[in-house]
């Protein structure tokens, strides 16, 4: 995954960047499967590696294939990105150990989820249907809106100069 990110950062060909981003997303989905987050992995594979790649390729169809070189060195965005990374690393130091049974989430949140208040036999489905239903609706709305936007952009075809001249007469 680190190699994919480094290549993405150095590549100027936008088609390559889109394909590598899809590869990164697929690799992230495999990491999520290894962490037993299969439902999140399926979403990452479908949206990150699938739909996003198709939508970005559609948008690339409307643009140039090469990224323009920046007019100046991007030191401010680099510094901001590094500061954000350092803050995230610092914040992660306060998290409990992975799979710690005494972590606060296992003391308060997990028992409520496992109580299964909505009578659905699968715990993951119960959580998605009851506790995360608005979140899932929001995600669906975002993906639908992005798809509709790309379709609207793809439908805007440039008319050839000959046809514009005919309409002007």
- pLDDT one-digit tens code per residue, 87-140: 999 999 988 888 888 888 778 777 777 776 667 667 777 777 777 778 878 878
| φ/ψ of residue 66, rounded to 5 | -115, 140
Domain boundary among 21, 51, 67: 67
Report CA-CA distances (Å) from 114 to 40, 44, 101, 110, 167.
19, 25, 15, 6, 67
Same domain, 14 and 62: yes
Percent of the chain with pLDDT over 90: 19
- Looking at 44, 67, 90, the residue that finishes a domain is 67
Provide CB contacts within 8 A for 151, sequence distance 6+.
Answer: 58
Would 85 be classed as within a structural domain?
A: no
CA distances from 23 to 1, 17, 20 (A): 9, 10, 5
The predicted-structure confidence for 61-76, as pLDDT tens digits, reads as follows: 877 777 777 777 888 9
In a domain, 95, yes or no: no
For the chain, the maximum distance between any two Cα atoms, rounded to a whole number of angstroms, is 78
Q: Above 60 in pLDDT, residue 164? A: no
pTM of the model: 0.55
Domain that holds residue 148: 104-169
Query: What is the number of domains present in the chain?
Result: 2
């Amino acid at each position: 995954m680190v190699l994919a990110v480094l290549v993405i950062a150095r590549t100027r060909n936008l088609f390559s960047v889109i394909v590598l981003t899809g590869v990164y997303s697929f690799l992230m989905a495999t990491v999520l499967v290894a962490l037993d987050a299969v439902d999140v992995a399926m979403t990452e594979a479908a949206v990150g590696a699938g739909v996003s790649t198709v939508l970005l390729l559609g948008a690339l169809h409307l643009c140039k294939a090469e990224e323009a070189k920046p007019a100046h060195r991007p030191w401010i965005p680099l510094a901001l990105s590094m500061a954000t990374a350092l803050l995230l690393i610092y914040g992660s130091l306060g998290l409990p150990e992975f799979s710690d049974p005494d972590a606060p989430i296992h003391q308060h949140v997990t028992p409520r989820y496992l109580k299964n208040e909505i009578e659905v036999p699968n715990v993951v489905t119960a959580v998605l249907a009851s506790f995360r239903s608005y979140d899932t609706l929001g995600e669906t709305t975002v993906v639908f809106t992005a798809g509709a936007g790309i379709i609207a952009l793809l439908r805007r075809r440039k008319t050839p100069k000959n046809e514009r001249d005919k309409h002007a007469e």
